[in-house]
Amino acid sequence: MEDARKMGKSELFSHFAERFDIKRTQSREFFDELAALAEKELKRTGEFVIPGMVKLVLKKTNARTGRNPATGQPIPIAAKTVVKARIVKQLKDAVLPKKPA
């Protein structure tokens, strides 16, 4: 697994184009539309689910005080909203090894 090469965007588009017998440009347009839809739904409802894979959710963090690691001085960290990806249990169970009991 260490020597395995990651699949790039071009290879992903090619895989779906071959699998569903469509052009690569159509495959790319599908993923572009999926990304646009995810963005729109995250803004609208705060979450977006790709069934069987991942759930994207917006999470608001509170303002807090942190420390500069070099000087130890306290520094303010502003509140912000971030996107979190939660992997669906079904996929986790398929990919991750089982924990011994």
88 with 59, same domain: the answer is: yes
Please state the domain count of the chain.
Answer: 2
CB of 71 closer than 8 Å to CB of 79: no
What CATH number is given to the structural domain containing 62? 4.10.520.10
Is 58 domain-assigned?
yes
**Each residue's pLDDT tens digit, 34-43:** 999 999 999 9
User: Going by C-beta distance under 8 Å and a sequence separation of 6 or more, which residues neighbour residue 86?
Assistant: 54, 55, 56, 57
pTM over 0.85: no
Q: Is 46 left (phi over 0), alpha (psi -120 to 50) or beta?
A: left
Is 2 domain-assigned?
no
Query: What residues does 23 pair with on adjacent strands?
Result: none
Domain span at residue 64 reads 46-101
Is 1 domain-assigned?
no
Q: In whole angstroms, what is the distance from residue 41 CA to residue 47 CA?
A: 7
Kindly report the number of other CB atoms within 10 A of residue 44's CB atom: 9
* Residue 100 pLDDT exceeds 80: no
Average pLDDT of the chain to the nearest whole number: 92
